[in-house]
A and B are shown apart, each in its own frame.
Chain A
Amino acid sequence: MRDANALGGGEALAAAGLIARRELAASFDSSIAYVYTIGFVVLANSIFMNEFFLTGTADMTAYFDRLPLLLAIFLPAVTMRLWAEEKKHRTIELLLTFPIGPREAVAGKYAAALGLYALFLAGSLPIVVMLFVLGKPDGGLIASGYLGAFLLGAQLIASGMFFSGLARDQIVAFVTSSLAAFAFVLSGNDRVVEVLDGLWPSLAPGTILSESVSVRPHFDAFVRGSIQLPSLVYFCGMSAVFLWMTALVLREDRT
């Protein structure tokens, strides 16, 4: 019998995979996954098509531009149940007394939420096909936009999981996650930056927040086709910090 106090790489991966599969199956069994995916795809694609007919340009900038605000609503709806539901129904005690650590549980649920988000994004693939049929879009620009969208979603899912880990109620988890997501997105908005800078011109808090905290400058770089190391580090680092804090909360918050 294995007695190490942490799972080996293969075991940890297998445990996380089992949890991810269980989580995804639960999402589809309860119809949540269908409702969210259809809702997101219909809304995001409709907004894009409206812009597309107005501008007539064969690129996906209009799709990616609206994405952060949509994700600030839809991804908290995905993550709100991940831990709050386990706490409310007390299944968390069952889950975390299986021979796994909080890290494997967090990784499994994170992978499941990422999988569902990948479905959200896959719903826009007909747009890509349409653009290539109707014109000559820049494939590299589109690929870079999708990479940015995936990384942006990965960060918002990680922060949503953290707030779900803190809450015992899904509504509280949704509201706090959504507020945090809007803060990450809007702190990079030019008008918000101007207003905040105007409050304390010598310190320029809006600029500081935009450059250090906001997802917007990093995401916009991907949408413009610029894949930069600092942006990759930002998204991966922020995601890792929130996942680590989630595991910490799960280790400490027990009754």
Chain B
Amino acid sequence: MEGATRWYGSTLAVDDVSFQVRPGEIVGFLGPNGAGKSTLLKMISTWLPPTTGRIVVGGHDVVREPLAVRRRLGYLPEHNSLYEVMRVDRFLEFAARIRGLGGSSLRERLDWAVESCGLREVLSKRIHECSKGYRQRIGVAAALVHDPPVIVLDEPTHGLDPVQVVAFRGFLRGLRQGKAILFSSHVLSEVIAISDRILVIRQGRLLADTPVDELERRAGAAGADVEAIVLDIVTTAGSA
């Protein structure tokens, strides 16, 4: 992403943001409400075009080659809106088929998604009958069912209980092999626990792009914890 900027009318939502996520890397996106996180992820997903700047996913430009980007992308949107009246198994099959899966690979990937996201017991239920935690896992399963090399998840742990959050951390780290993973969260400790690198955004501007190792080193030197260091970045840069 190079100089990505997005205006909504006269409101600047994302201001000249540049960063890169490499295969095998998990990058966490932090920022307060209205910071521009979701707008940025929507631009990566091809849903919103950047007003200026360039975003490339897997070697393909999101504006000029949106279909090629979408084929390589597993995207969980901000509100995880799902087709409420559909049965879980039919929804997952729809998500897989529309991405071109068929035959034995379709069955294999559906089985993988169902087992990985723990959906076996709700497969025959309609989505609106599922709990918030299950709905979140259904959204993640639909985003990953085609084994995409690039994964973008907007608030993936929203609605999960503490046990599910811990399980999700392990799940996401297990997916990293060869995949570029970008996810957003409000929860500082969660981002620190999962990510290799942290991006901090506020008022549309990227305030920090720092490896967690580096944050831990700084925290050790300062005798503080990593969360305090990240909070310091947000407040100091935000007031500068």
Contacts and interface: CB of A to CB of B under 8 A. Distances in A.
A97 B70 contact: yes
Interface string B62-89: 0011111011110101010111111000
A18 B94 contact: yes
A207 to B, nearest CB: 44
Contact of B81 (A2, A19, A90, A99): A90
A101 B98 CA distance: 12
A218 to B, nearest CB: 36
B86 A22 contact: yes
User: Which of A2, A6, A29 has the most chain B CB within a 10 Å cutoff?
Assistant: A29
A94 B67 contact: no
A55 interface: no
Interface string A10-29: 01000100110010011001
A19 B48 CA distance: 22
Contact of A91 (B8, B46, B82, B99): B82
Interface string A94-122: 10111111000000000000000000000
A5 B47 contact: no
B90 interface: yes
A93 B45 CA distance: 9
Nearest to B72: A1
Given A94-B77, A254-B48, A25 B86 contact: yes
B103 interface: no
B178 to A, nearest CB: 14
Contacts of B176: none
Nearest to B99: A99
Given A22-B86, A89-B81, A90-B77, A98 B70 contact: yes
Interface in B89-118: 90, 94-95, 97-100
A30 B127 CA distance: 13
Contacts of A3: 60, 65, 67-68, 71
B42 interface: yes
B98 A2 contact: no
Contacts of B73: 97
Contacts of B100: 2, 11, 99
B83 A26 contact: yes
Interface string B154-173: 00000000000000000000
B99 A29 contact: no
A4 interface: yes
Nearest to B91: A22
Contacts of B47: 93, 96-97, 254
Nearest to B126: A29
B98 A98 contact: yes
B99 A26 contact: no
User: Which of A1, A3, A26, A100 has the most chain B CB within a 10 Å cutoff?
Assistant: A3
Contacts of A100: 67, 98
A100 B70 CA distance: 8
A205 B82 CA distance: 48
A6 B99 CA distance: 14
A5 B142 CA distance: 23
A89 B82 CA distance: 8
15 contacts: A3-B65, A3-B67, A5-B65, A5-B68, A6-B67, A25-B86, A26-B83, A94-B77, A94-B82, A94-B142, A97-B45, A98-B98, A100-B98, A254-B48, A255-B8
Q: Which 5 pairs between the two chains have the least Cβ-Cβ distance? A: A90-B81, A99-B70, A3-B68, A99-B71, A91-B81
Interface of A: 1-7, 11, 15, 18-19, 22, 25-26, 29-30, 89-91, 93-94, 96-101, 254-255
Given A18-B97, A99-B100, 13 more contacts: A5-B68, A19-B98, A22-B86, A29-B85, A90-B79, A91-B81, A93-B81, A97-B45, A97-B77, A98-B95, A99-B98, A100-B98, A254-B48
